[in-house]
Amino acid sequence: MERLAEAAWFTHVGIKDATAAIVLSSWDEAIASGGSFEWEDLSLEVANQLRLRLMERGRLEGWNDVVVEMKKTTLSFVRGKIETVVREHNLPKVFEDVVQWDILHVCIETEYADVYPPGFYVSQAYWYVNGHFPCGWKGDFPQGMPIIY
């Protein structure tokens, strides 16, 4: 969270400075990709897999309480990080929803790192820290590449 807090989010959107990702060229493309059923399905499937691993290891008890507590922090944190870009580009609610989901799940992966190693969502955090908006996946996961703006 400290690295996310210190980073200047969305300062490299549209800049093709990554070879390990497909870089989109507009907010319209990014919102369409980030709000797509395919991206939503993948994001949900990854979260479900994490919960399954926690259940298998007997650590799912108290899950709801942990998530509620994390949301208390992440909701205001994300709003603070996105308010300028939302206002400047008139971004829709789905943008905030995607970012809120990502950052909440970064925290969840980190919280349970002793049970199951962080992966997908921590890799999403990499893109935020580096000024991009992760918003999709090209190919069959885990093969393929992330889509970013």
| Domain count across the chain | 1
Q: What is the dihedral of CA 33, 34, 36, 40, to 10 degrees?
A: 140
- Which residues touch 58 (CB under 8 Å, ≥6 apart)? none
Residue bearing tokens 């919280």? 111
Per-residue pLDDT tens digits for 97-127: 999 999 999 999 999 999 999 999 999 999 9
Task: Provide the residue range defining the domain that includes 53.
Answer: 2-11+30-135
Rounded Cα distance between 106 and 35, Å, is 19
CB 108 within 8 A of CB 66: yes
| Residue 122 located in a structural domain | yes
Model's pTM, two decimal places?
0.96
| Residue 21 located in a structural domain | no
Per-residue pLDDT tens digits for 34-86: 999 999 999 999 999 999 999 999 999 999 999 999 999 999 999 999 999 99
H or E element in which residue 104 lies = helix 93-111
| Residue 93 located in a structural domain | yes
